[in-house]
A and B are shown apart, each in its own frame.
Chain A
Amino acid sequence: MMAALSYLFRYYVRSYRYVAPLIVYMTVIIFIYGVVPNPVLSSYGLTSTVLFLVMAWLCFAYIDVEDRTQQTITVLHLGSTTKYYMAKMAVIALIGTILALCTAVYPVVFGKFSAQPTAEQFIVGLVSHVLLSYLGIAISAIFTSKLILKLNYSILGLFLVLSISLAGSGITERLPDQFAFVTWLIPPSYRVMAMLNEDADIDAQEALMTFAAVFVYVMALQIMFLRWMKKRLF
């Protein structure tokens, strides 16, 4: 598995498809923290939302980066389609984790907050970044060209789902009671944003429930993705 991770990572690095999203991301983060001081949790809320969108962009450019013919060779060398996609998702998740860590640590190290965050605030901020980066990846992976053949449709679909996710709070407030179940279908990035934007003391139970909702959503999407890809073949 390590061999597959290493190969897929090097393949991606040599494609340079990450350059544009990373430049945009760094620019936005520097802009956000360009003026000091900043409130801790709502700043983390903003940057984790940006990371959510950028990871969706990165994953969209990454998921089909390997040449199609080479994909069949790689899968046969690995011996399993599931192993192949698990390795593929692990590489982009690793990139997401590194970006999340850098984004959470940067304002602390360079004194961009109004006060140094408490350990609790830092952990909540870090976990929010990590989970939202995974959520961006999990959503974007579904829009691979193997599942949605036309590029126009996949771009449109991805924008639509990301927009619904960001506007989740407003949608749930306006939904009639009989459609309350729809709330659970909306990607829960809005739950993390709402929690961080309160910028008050963290309620540990609320934080755990929010993170659990995101984690379960990500896992469900990833399991669906792996099952679909196994059937899709080449």
Chain B
Amino acid sequence: MDSYLLRLRDVSKEIAGQYVLNDLMLEIKPGRAVAIVGANGSGKSTLLKILSGLGKFDKGQRIVESSEGRLSIGYVPERFPKLNFNAVDYLRSMGKMQGIPGDKLSARIEELVTRFGLDPADRRTMKRYSKGMLQKVNLIQGMLAAPELLLLDEPFSGLDHNAQEELVAALNAIKRQGQAIVMTTHEPSFVERVADRTLRLRDGRLSVADDRSAQEPLKRLEFELHDPSALQSNAVSRFQRQGSSCVAWVERKHSDSVIRAILEAGGSIAYVGDERTGNVS
């Protein structure tokens, strides 16, 4: 039997006389990522807030089915405020509120801040941060304590390329640890690299836009190779050049042989990680 973390059953929400959510059903499973797509104003952010437990709805049920009866939730809102705190001070406060022990918290903050390209020694308050820097702090606060369910509202918005790639890797790692992800986004390329299911929200209801939950995740290989034509093989599902680097998505069973081929051809491997799919145009 499938286990669920959270279910919404027949949830309806009316705003200004119009149903933005109408008898909506949604089930969240551990270790799975769901992407919600839809037009602006279709109710995606409202849905995330209801999933978080902090949004009101007029009808229906929100059922927590976590084994402990209580669900730990990380929430990354779309518009993160410019607060009068420096990033590390703020993150330490958020982590302490979650009860993360001091040493572990400092190490986790250092790890995430460095991973997303922020400077841990930066003493400026977030009032002086750019949109991209704020978004990085926003993501980090949501990931601090490895919540059972991570809700992300337009997480790729405002990030530079490196940070977007780090986020994709971080989200895939989160899934592998058994945490669930629900995100809204307008970036189809990232949706396909992270989400197992893509749901479209239209007229207050969800429909399946894409379901890849039965597919095996692919290995993502980042490497440098002077002549990548040597890699022409059925094992490579997709190949892309990024400046002087190359990225290939490979079926798990072929990853060792492809890595060997790159090294034998004089190339060097920069990154190997699991990813949902490379099946993008």
Chain A interface residues (CB < 8 Å from chain B): 3-4, 6-7, 10-11, 14-15, 67, 69-70, 72-79, 81, 233-234
Indicate if the CB atoms of B93 and A76 lie closer than 8 Å: no
Q: Which of A6, A74, A77 has the most CB of B within 10 A?
A: A77
Main SS at interface, chain A: helix
Q: A72-B54, A76-B74 are in contact. Are A14 and B85 (CB under 8 A)?
A: yes
Enumerate chain B residues within 8 angstroms of A10, measured Cβ to Cβ.
Answer: 85, 93
Indicate if the CB atoms of B54 and A75 lie closer than 8 Å: yes
A76 to nearest B CB, angstroms? 5
Q: Within B62-119, which residues are at the interface with A (CB < 8 Å)? A: 70, 72-75, 77, 79-81, 83-85, 93-98
Closest 3 CB pairs of A and B: A3-B96, A67-B81, A7-B93
Give the nearest-CB partner of A6 in chain B.
Answer: B93
Enumerate chain B residues within 8 angstroms of A74, measured Cβ to Cβ.
Answer: 94, 97
A161 to B74, CA, bound (A): 40
B56 at the binding interface (Cβ < 8 Å): yes
Enumerate chain A residues within 8 angstroms of B93, measured Cβ to Cβ.
Answer: 3, 6-7, 10
A-B residue pairs in contact (CB < 8 Å), sample of 19: A3-B93, A6-B96, A7-B94, A7-B96, A10-B85, A11-B83, A11-B84, A11-B85, A14-B84, A69-B79, A72-B49, A72-B52, A72-B54, A75-B54, A76-B74, A76-B75, A78-B98, A79-B70, A234-B54
B155 to nearest A CB, angstroms? 14
B141 at the binding interface (Cβ < 8 Å): yes
Give the nearest-CB partner of A83 in chain B.
Answer: B97
Interface 1/0 per residue, B35-62 and A, CB below 8 Å = 0000000000000010010111000000
Enumerate chain A residues within 8 angstroms of B52, measured Cβ to Cβ.
Answer: 72, 76
A77 to B93, CA, bound (A): 10
Indicate if the CB atoms of A233 and B54 lie closer than 8 Å: yes
- Across chains A and B, the number of contacting residue pairs, with CB separation under 8 Å, is 60
Give the nearest-CB partner of A87 in chain B.
Answer: B97
Q: Within B116-166, which residues are at the interface with A (CB < 8 Å)? A: 141
A85 to nearest B CB, angstroms? 13
Enumerate chain B residues within 8 angstroms of A79, measured Cβ to Cβ.
Answer: 70, 72, 98
B128 to nearest A CB, angstroms? 14
Indicate if the CB atoms of A77 and B49 lie closer than 8 Å: no
A69 to B119, CA, bound (A): 24
Q: A7-B97, A234-B49 are in contact. Are A73 and B55 (CB under 8 A)?
A: no
Indicate if the CB atoms of B77 and A77 lie closer than 8 Å: no
Enumerate chain B residues within 8 angstroms of A72, measured Cβ to Cβ.
Answer: 49, 52, 54, 75, 77
Enumerate chain A residues within 8 angstroms of B73, measured Cβ to Cβ.
Answer: 76
Indicate if the CB atoms of B141 and A73 lie closer than 8 Å: yes
A4 to B70, CA, bound (A): 20
B156 to nearest A CB, angstroms? 18
Q: Which of A73, A74, A79 has the most CB of B within 10 A?
A: A73
A73 to nearest B CB, angstroms? 6
A76 to B49, CA, bound (A): 11
Enumerate chain A residues within 8 angstroms of B84, measured Cβ to Cβ.
Answer: 11, 14-15
Enumerate chain B residues within 8 angstroms of A11, measured Cβ to Cβ.
Answer: 83-85
B50 to nearest A CB, angstroms? 10
A184 to nearest B CB, angstroms? 33
Q: Within B211-226, which residues are at the interface with A (CB < 8 Å)? A: none
